[in-house]
Amino acid sequence: MLIKMNDYRELILSELANEIGADFVTKRRDEILNTTEMRKLLEEIEERGSSYNYKRLKEFKMLLKKVKMMKYYETRKFRTDGGLEVSILERGQYLEQLIERLTDTFKMIEGKVVLDIGSGTFPLYFSKELPAGTVYIAIDSRKEVIEELNKASTSHLKLIVIHSDACEIDYKSLLSQFNIKRADITLMLRVLSVIARTKKIDPVEFIESIPTRTLVVSEPLRSLVRKESVITRETKFLNSLARKLENRGIFAYHEIWTIGEEIFLFLF
């Protein structure tokens, strides 16, 4: 062969670095080289010969997808900086405005029950502004998040912490365990499109399964992997979602709100 397999490994790593970022690929080099996707790609290259453009192979596309997911999950895993979860820090100066908007909405609908799906540590901040007696149900699949929430002192309200994958819950049954027919407001902040893509679910059907009066969905306006603007894609996703839910009679109307690098869909 004109090019040795070791040279191909370096070419592939270089291409991944261009697509995803050199720092990440360098840091996770050994793990990437040992993936099943890399092995299958190298086998296919060896079979086809060096004259074939490996970037056209489905095996290369699968490897690229795999490494993107590796970077995404590293970005989203629970991390702290100065005691704050990174997702909280990402909202920066806009966190206070976000909490104010959500609090105003909760008071406007005279809410008593919050359901927070994929909550992270956001309940530690939002709960401080909620009326006494509020029931706050926080769901997250990460052990570290659950531990942080269980340490919280929330004497003025009832914080219920659920350690579970969002797609493995029967929400009607969950609420009924606490004698609740439906939540007054459900939060899905930066989680819905991820769940839809990774779990292969229909986001409309997923939302239909959640008994709630009001729903707030948000998505980041910048790609977490390539750090590029995705405002057009996410705005289209949320507007399409709103139309489908309204057409089914699940919600009556919606509002789109953008702050910082995050876009929100409020459904009433």
- What are the residue ranges spanned by the domains of the chain? 5-76, 84-267
> For residue 74, what pLDDT band results from cuts at 50, 70 and 90?
low
Global confidence as pTM: 0.72
The per-residue pLDDT for 24 is: 87
| pLDDT tens-digit readout, 224-247 | 555 678 889 899 999 999 999 999
Task: Choose which CATH entry (3.30.450.20, 1.10.10.10, 3.90.1640.10, 3.40.50.150) describes domain 84-267.
Answer: 3.40.50.150
The per-residue pLDDT for 164 is: 97
pLDDT at 86 over 60: no
The per-residue pLDDT for 1 is: 45
Beta-carbon count within 10 A of 4 CB = 10
Q: Strands 183-189 and 158-163, how do they pair?
A: unpaired
pLDDT at 92 over 80: no
| pLDDT tens-digit readout, 199-213 | 899 999 999 999 999
The per-residue pLDDT for 85 is: 60
Per DSSP, the three-state class of 92 is: helix
**161 or 223, greater pLDDT:** 161
> For residue 146, what pLDDT band results from cuts at 50, 70 and 90?
very high
pLDDT at 214 over 90: yes
> For residue 6, what pLDDT band results from cuts at 50, 70 and 90?
confident
From first CA to last CA, the distance across the chain in angstroms is 63
Pick from 9-13, 93-97, 101-105 the range whose average pLDDT is largest.
101-105
C-beta separation of 218 from 91 below 8 A: no
Beta-carbon count within 10 A of 63 CB = 24
C-beta separation of 183 from 175 below 8 A: yes
Instruction: Return the structure tokens found at 15.
Output: 């291409």
**What average pLDDT does the chain have?**
88
Share of the chain above pLDDT 90, in %: 64
Comparing C-alpha atoms, which of 250, 257, 162, 155 is closest to residue 207?
250
> For residue 52, what pLDDT band results from cuts at 50, 70 and 90?
confident
| pLDDT tens-digit readout, 174-202 | 999 999 999 999 999 999 998 998 889 99
pLDDT at 149 over 50: yes
Per DSSP, the three-state class of 224 is: coil
Contacts of 132 (CB under 8 A, 6+ apart): 156, 157
Return d(Cα 145, Cα 77) in angstroms, integer. 10
